[in-house]
Each structure stands twice: as structure tokens, then as C-alpha cells.
Structure 1
Amino acid sequence: QTRDLSDSGVYVKHPDLVSLQPGTIVRGQVQDLPIPAPELQMEVMRVDAEGVGLRFILAD
């Protein structure tokens, strides 16, 4: 479940993500769209009891 989606990042609520450490780089993709979404690289910026805040890493 996503919350606080913006141009620079997203918060993802999921219990499996709370084990990640800030600074970890992950890859993700929005699911269930009518067309395939791009796979994005993101950095874990914060972790709380419910999930993680991710910053999008944009390609130059």
C-alpha cells in the first residue's frame, strides 16, 4: 500500500520492508496499471513500524 506519493518519492506500507536500513537501494514498479510502468531505483530514506519512505533516484 502506498501513501504520500510525490514527484520525489513515496511511502510504502508493508511489514516486510521494516527490516530495510536507511541508505539501502531498492527497485520497484507500480502494479495494476493499464500499461507497464517503468521500474525505478529508490533509496530508503526512513523506516518506521509500518513501512519505509523511499526517494526516487532519477537517471541523468
Structure 2
Amino acid sequence: MYNEWTFQRSVKAFWQNEYQTNEQLVQAIEEYIHFYNFERYQQRLNGLSPMEYRKKAA
């Protein structure tokens, strides 16, 4: 789950970029969500990404 600091840091990353179209912004958000769920390995999840951990728990 997001804590407040992580959320603020994530939002700031989007605000620092200038997107020419809404589609570019949506694509950047979708790419970040994919990274957050599939490529962000967490020590507290035994070195798994959130999705890998969820699959293992199911």
C-alpha cells in the first residue's frame, strides 16, 4: 500500500514531465502502474513483486 510519502513522490514524477496530449499522460500512468505491480521487487515481500506475491498467496 502507498504511504503518504510514496504517493507524493509518485505524483511529483508526473508533474515534472510535460505531456503533449492526454493520451501520453495516460500511457505514462499505465506504465507506472505496470512497474509498480510487476517490476518493483520488495524486500518485505521476500524479494517478490506485488503481483508475484499475490499469486503465491492465492
What TM-score, normalized by structure 1, do the two folds share? 0.26
Q: Larger strand proportion, structure 1 or 2? A: 1
Q: Larger helix proportion, structure 1 or 2? A: 2
Q: Which structure is larger by alpha-carbon Rg, 1 or 2?
A: 2
